[in-house]
Amino acid sequence: MSTALKSVRSIAPLLDRILVQRVKPEAKTAGGIFLPESSVKELNEAKVLAVGPGAMNKDGQRIAPSVQPGDKVLIPQFGGSPIKVGEEEYSLFRDHELLAKINE
C-alpha cells in the first residue's frame, strides 16, 4: 500500500493494531564478506514502532496490547497489512497475530 507520508512516526494504529518493521537480514557474513542477494532470506523478526490503544471488550474496556514500542517480535509468515512510507516498508498486524516477543 502506498502512502505520501513523510515519516512513519505520523502513523497511530487504531484499536488492536501494531505497527512493525521487519528486521533486515545481514547482507554480509560475520567475517565481513558480502552475501549474494539470493542467499539472504527475509526474516520473521520485526521491531514494534507503535501500538494501538487496544480493542474494546464487551464491557467497553480496552484490552491492553501485549507488546510495547521498541519490543522485538516474531511475526507470522502470512497476513498483516503492508504499508510503504518513502522507500521503507512497514506492516500493521493485529495484536493477537504476533507470535512471540523476543528478549535479547
Nearest approach in angstroms of CB 88 to its own copies is 15
**Taking CA 35 as the corner, what is the angle to CA 38 and CA 73, rounded to the nearest 5 degrees?**
80
How do beta strands 17-22 and 45-51 pair?
antiparallel
Closest CA to 51 of 3, 97, 89: 97
Nearest approach in angstroms of CB 87 to its own copies is 13
Residues that bind its own copies (CB under 8 A): 1-5, 10-15, 17, 19, 23, 25-26, 41-45, 52, 56-58, 60-61, 63, 66-67, 73-74, 76-77, 81, 83, 92, 96, 98-104
